[in-house]
Amino acid sequence: MYKKQIPDNALVSCLNQQLIEAESINSNIAGVGIDLLDERRIEKVCARFKTEFAYKILSKSEYLAWSENDQSCNGIAKYFSAKEAVVKALGTGFRQGITFKQVNITRNSLGCPIVSLTGEAYKRFKELNGRSIYLSLTDEYPWVHAFALVVR
């Protein structure tokens, strides 16, 4: 197998450039949050308290969207996991006055999740000099996975 020889000084230059780029990217990341949820846990709660549980963790607009659609446990699980990932990215979890209803998840016309914050969650976002929050959700029964990134 042919292996191209790269001069040592070019390799160092290349590595330095990558480090500079990584440092630049890192300075713009205020927080990362990941959540992995076993949907069967939510199903157990749904079996007894579906509507009450949904009302407890969903904002008014989320509850309305959920109740107008399929009202599935999977839908609740996705909201739950998304909110967990977002508050982890804020670096607080559900503490310091941050509640489930202060993290609102909607979708754009393409179905991509959009995060909006209120109350203490919004204050924390501003303390981090946050500019935007990126959220990705995926599920493959029984797992729901959410990834959130707070960017300065």
Classify residue 98 by its DSSP letter: -
Is residue 55 situated within a structural domain?
yes
- What is the span of the domain harbouring residue 121? 29-151
- Which CATH number goes with the domain that contains 101? 3.90.470.20
Task: Establish whether the linkage from the previous residue to 142 is cis, with ω within 30° of 0.
Answer: yes
Q: How many domains does the chain have?
A: 1
Task: Flag whether 74 is in a domain.
Answer: yes
Instruction: Inform me whether the pLDDT recorded for 149 exceeds 70.
Output: yes
Residue 9 lies in a domain: no
Give a yes or no: residue 88 inside a domain.
yes
Ramachandran sector of residue 128 (left: φ over 0; alpha: ψ -120 to 50; beta: rest):
alpha
6 is a domain residue: no
pLDDT at 4 over 70: no
pTM: 0.82
At 72-122, the pLDDT tens digits run 999 999 999 999 999 999 999 999 999 999 999 999 999 899 999 999 999
- Residue 18 within any structural domain of the chain: no
Q: Which of 24-28, 48-52, 65-69 has the lowest mean pLDDT?
A: 24-28
Cα 14 to its chain centre, rounded Å, is 33
Pinpoint the alpha helices (H) of 5-72: 8-28, 39-57, 60-68
At residue 19, the pLDDT reads 52
Residue 17 lies in a domain: no
Q: Is residue 80 part of a domain?
A: yes
Looking at per-residue pLDDT, the higher value among 111 and 16 belongs to: 111
